[in-house]
Structure 1
Amino acid sequence: MEYIISLDIGTSSVRALVFDSQLVIQETAQVELKTFYPQNGWVEQDPLELWQKSQEVLEKVLQSAQKNNWIIKGIGITNQRETVVAWSKKTGQPIYNAIVWQDRRTARYCQKLQKQGWFKKIYEKTGLRLDPYFSASKINWILNNVEQAKKIIKNNDLLVGTIDTWLIWNLTKKQSHLTDVSNASRTMLFNIKSLKWDEELLKIFKIPFTILPQVVASACRGKNFGLAKIKNQEIPLLAVCGDQTSALFGQNCLIRGEVKATYGTGGFVVVNAGSKIKLKNSKLITTIAWQINKEIIYALEGSIFQSGGSLKWLRDNLGLFNNYEEINLFSNESKDSNGVYLVPAFVGLGAPHWKPEVRGMISGLNHQTRKGHLINAAIESAAFQVNDILEVIKKEYKLKIGSLKVDGGLTKSNYLLQFQANISNILVNKNKNEEMTGRGVALMAAKILAWPSPASLVDKPFKPLATIIQRKEKLNGWKKSLSQIFKVK
């Protein structure tokens, strides 16, 4: 029997997943990652730990493969995007910690560039907002603040890359300095129209072209990212894709207009935008979803700062429940939010509002309010934010959305899924396979191997049940709550 391994490098953990020819998981290994916060707004991880933990989980699943006589045909890599690593070409050693996508140390630098009038130019070339979230300003910070970077760049000894690039370099024993188009498009240095590192953007951020990886397709028949050398084995690296668009592929959102929502600590709404780019406005990010062989597919993406994170706040700060298993119990007991609205703007609001300065609010409290109502209000806030993004997609981009595919930890709440269906008047489908990110890059690798397409495993579909009046009343309440926090200065 033939199998594919997915290596999924997230922010909190690294996972290796073994998929069979029907894309069913047969083996997993997972280890947690440490994250460091050296200063307020700074978020870092140890690149050597990322590499060591990746080796650990790969070796563990390969041991199982050996015991079961499984034939591993290839490896796919999917990863946290935007996070940056810099290292010496000669020694292979990192010169600084990985600067994680959440890091905000370059906020003032980005504000300076915005005041200089670069926002529009950067958006037109990259589809991204000028923000510390993306890789360019992080690389600039390393070049200007890490002494070793200043020294070794003079000798053409400095390399940089996102997490996929760092792992490809190590897995291939320094043979491949590569990234794929989906990860390159998150750096704010890659022109998503010309599909090249952009000379003007490199000049803006003062980053030399020579330190950047070569950009290739996410998966391409007849080509790969090199051979991963693990425990005396050489396994082709067949596919690489950033985590959110890998999950889009894993959800089988392969047709323009198909959309998925992820409800994690934060949230994402990602829609397949097809093969032609259309930059309408900067409320949503336009990015490259993937490239299979010669075909490029773009995606629209809206990021939500707080989704399931608001429930964590209710647990840790207010003590409303002890564990997440209790959420459904209290949610079902209360049945609804009883007019309570929670706007989880703990660090501002993301897409489509982009209001980093606003802060959260709870409204509609009365003597009958119970903990279940507050829990349901937090759950509803995740659905309201997804709906705000869906409305922009429909109105601004004229895309017809027939259904919404969902994943993430919060989808264990049936209340959320039914409420999302009601408020967005859309069919919501939850897949039985919860590992959509790993499945996506495995599916790309399977296409390269010419494996037959597996059946889509849809769990229970949730159909909209609310009346027009009920839907309008709930949406008006949410919009009123938003307008109240927008007025506060």
Structure 2
Amino acid sequence: MSIAQGEFVGALDCGTTSVRFIVFDSFANIIAEHQLEFTQYYPRPGWHGHDATEIIQVAQECIAGAVSKLEGKGWSGKSIKTIGITNQRETTVAWHRISGKPLCQAIVWTDTRNKGEVTAYERKLNEVGFEVEDGSFDRLLTAGINMIERTGLKLSTYFSALKLHWMIQHYPEVKEAHESDNLLFGTGRLMGRLCQSIRLSPLCNLTGGAAANGLHIIDVTNASRTLLLNLNTLEWSHSLLRFFSLKPSILPRIVSSSEVYGTISSGPLEGVPIAGIVGDQQAALVGNKCFAPGEAKNTYGTGAFLLFNTGHEVIKSQNGLLSTVAYQNGPGAKPFYALEGSIGVAGSAVKWLRDKMGLINSAAEVNVLAEKESTSGGVYFVTAFGGLLAPYWDTSAGGMLIGLTLYTNPSHIARATLEAVSYSTRAVLEAMKADSGVELRHLKVDGGMTNGDIVMQIQADIGGFDVVRPEMRESTALGCALLAGSAIRLFGWDISKPETLDKVNTAGSTTFSPKLGEEERASGWKGWQRAVEKSRGWEDVQEED
């Protein structure tokens, strides 16, 4: 077979349960891909861990596997001109500066073991206040406002600073490394070790690791999920570091989402530049080409994440949403911001039905089971497995199936599971409407759950808006590929000029329009709100060892 030389861009997409490497052409056609799952650790209720070393190995296998498939189709591996990397954002990785080894399991974004940390820091705000940059202190009300004003985030189990502080308090090796200035921190299991670590990070490993002075960097989108970044200046906040008792020496250097950071040092992609780093949800926003203020997308993965482009303006939510960096197209470029609604449970509820309850044998079967009934039979499933995120922000909420009767059957529960993510999505969109004053006409969607037509129709019915699903739905991987390609002007791409991407991912889409009557929609929404209120305050949050 003759070997052809082409021009492609690669995307290393590091999810919660798997890693994939995808090779795209200039139109966003997938030329080759390879995906592998990695081990999930649930040692206690509320705990969720990953082995960072295993993920590095899986990532390298995915790259090698995709390149092998590319070559099997007659293309040279040298056809890949650059790669981008995208990751889960709040997952926290700690490793040793000298040895380059992870000091403990990574704490995953879904993990809620640090509820006591949240309680303690809420008390600290109340009793001590918050140190602002000039060294003065504000009391609780102003302190809380200042924290949100500065970071766009709330005190929550979700964000990295509190996860890292928990590590320091509970793992002696992490504490010792912190005290001796040998602790390095990154977000995302793969990003924390490949892209943001001087020792064992995707960029560190790909650029040669400890011996070759790998990079310890973090892009602005990931940094904005730590509770340590000043959202207005895009710099680390020293007052927040002091508030959380963290040393500046742990922090990576902040970079943009689209620039050449270094080149891969070995393996089938040796010498290829790494030119895009971005958090997964921001990557999906870019992959859906939501470049204009007012455009929104929802990614239905393990959780569900809605991002609403607010342009160059940081809009502070009054309705339970987060303010975050959407992307920064190069060093010194004016960043784009977004409002975000994070829903902790989406596809993971389907896996719960499969793995824990045995109602289905595969995730796809939930669609078949749910279609057997036209309604959920009055059943609501509040999937607060680790509390509720946006727009409720209640760590004490408990998961709840309510409305069960002798009439209830497995199909009702399957349908209630799909409805749960749709109701949660509507709750976030209602908050976005209140914050922005913009009525959403249609919602762009991607992620694994969107493969089922029924859940997309349920979303349209519950939301009362059109749901637009593209044919090529690997939007997260595509987003980081677009940022990487833009950095080197591959194919003439330039994120700052969206018209250069007009031919990207235009294969078509499917639109799901509402079929439910307004009265029935309003009744279901009222029932969901009642169910959420029943679930709130269920757990007595205590500081625990």
TM-score (norm 2): 0.83
Describe the SS at the equivalent of 2:472. Answer: coil
Pair 1:358 & 2:397 matched: yes
345 and 55 in structure 1: CA distance in 2 versus 1, 3 angstrom threshold: closer
Pair 1:68 & 2:75 matched: yes
Distance in 2 between the 1:13 and 1:413 partners? Answer: 20
Describe the SS at the equivalent of 1:183. Answer: helix
Amino-acid identity (%): 36
Match of 1:240 among 277, 280, 302: 277
Q: Provide, for residues 389-426 of structure 1, a one-character-per-residue CA deviation record: whole Å limited to 9, x for no partner.
A: 10011012323322101122222332221222122221
**Counterpart amino acid of residue 16 in structure 2:** T
Q: Is the 8 A contact 2:364 2:452 kept in 1?
A: no
Distance in 1 between the 2:426 and 2:266 partners? Answer: 45
Distance in 2 between the 1:206 and 1:245 partners? Answer: 29
Q: Provide, for residues 119-175 of structure 1, a one-character-per-residue CA deviation record: whole Å limited to 9, x for no partner.
A: 433222111111232111233344444444455556654322222312112211233
Match of 1:108 among 107, 113, 116: 116
Distance in 2 between the 1:201 and 1:86 partners? Answer: 19
Q: Is the 8 A contact 2:321 2:391 kept in 1?
A: yes
The structural deviation recorded for 1:24 is 1.2
Q: Is the 8 A contact 2:317 2:323 kept in 1?
A: no
The structural deviation recorded for 1:113 is 1.2
Pair 1:306 & 2:379 matched: no
**Counterpart amino acid of residue 521 in structure 2:** R
Q: Is the 8 A contact 2:396 2:537 kept in 1?
A: no
Pair 1:170 & 2:205 matched: yes
The structural deviation recorded for 1:313 is 3.7
Correspondence for 1:132: 157
Matches within 5 A, 1:33-48: 33-48=38-53
The structural deviation recorded for 1:253 is 1.5
139 and 306 in structure 1: CA distance in 2 versus 1, 3 angstrom threshold: closer
Q: Provide, for residues 252-311 of structure 1, a one-character-per-residue CA deviation record: whole Å limited to 9, x for no partner.
A: 111112111222332222221221002133611111111112031112111223323333
**Counterpart amino acid of residue 108 in structure 2:** V
Pair 1:86 & 2:113 matched: no
Correspondence for 1:77: 85
**Counterpart amino acid of residue 44 in structure 1:** G
**Counterpart amino acid of residue 162 in structure 2:** S
Pair 1:159 & 2:187 matched: no
**Counterpart amino acid of residue 171 in structure 1:** L
Instruction: Mark the runs of 5 or more structure 1 residues left unpaired by the alignment.
Output: none
Instruction: Mark the runs of 5 or more structure 2 residues left unpaired by the alignment.
Output: 1-5, 131-143, 494-499, 540-545
Would you say how many aligned residue pairs link Structure 1 and Structure 2? 486
Distance in 2 between the 1:210 and 1:54 partners? Answer: 28
Describe the SS at the equivalent of 2:398. Answer: coil
Q: Is the 8 A contact 1:23 1:442 kept in 2?
A: no
Distance in 2 between the 1:149 and 1:125 partners? Answer: 27
Q: Is the 8 A contact 1:3 1:73 kept in 2?
A: yes
Distance in 2 between the 1:103 and 1:337 partners? Answer: 29
TM-score (norm 1): 0.92
Pair 1:462 & 2:462 matched: no
Pair 1:54 & 2:89 matched: no
Q: Is the 8 A contact 1:256 1:273 kept in 2?
A: yes
Is the deviation greater in 431-440 or in 84-93?
A: 84-93
**Counterpart amino acid of residue 58 in structure 1:** I
Correspondence for 1:262: 299
**Counterpart amino acid of residue 115 in structure 1:** R
Compute the RMSD of aligned alpha carbons: 2.4
159 and 299 in structure 1: CA distance in 2 versus 1, 3 angstrom threshold: same
Matches within 5 A, 1:59-458: 59-66=64-71, 68-70=75-77, 71-117=79-125, 118=130, 119-152=144-177, 156-162=181-187, 163=192, 164-165=195-196, 166-173=201-208, 174-220=213-259, 224-231=260-267, 233-281=270-318, 283-293=320-330, 294-366=333-405, 368-448=407-487, 449=489, 450-451=492-493, 452-453=500-501, 454-458=504-508
Distance in 1 between the 2:112 and 2:203 partners? Answer: 27
Distance in 1 between the 2:321 and 2:390 partners? Answer: 6
The structural deviation recorded for 1:384 is 0.9
Describe the SS at the equivalent of 1:383. Answer: helix
Is the deviation greater in 464-473 or in 128-137?
A: 464-473
Match of 1:480 among 504, 511, 530: 530
Correspondence for 2:23: 18
**Counterpart amino acid of residue 516 in structure 2:** A
Distance in 2 between the 1:438 and 1:259 partners? Answer: 17
Is the deviation greater in 292-301 or in 393-402?
A: 393-402
Correspondence for 2:12: 7
The structural deviation recorded for 1:341 is 2.8
Q: Is the 8 A contact 2:472 2:505 kept in 1?
A: no
Distance in 2 between the 1:272 and 1:184 partners? Answer: 18
The structural deviation recorded for 1:69 is 1.9
Describe the SS at the equivalent of 2:327. Answer: strand
Is the deviation greater in 247-256 or in 312-321?
A: 312-321
Is the deviation greater in 312-321 or in 5-14?
A: 312-321
Q: Is the 8 A contact 1:181 1:216 kept in 2?
A: yes
The structural deviation recorded for 1:474 is 2.1
Q: Is the 8 A contact 1:405 1:428 kept in 2?
A: yes
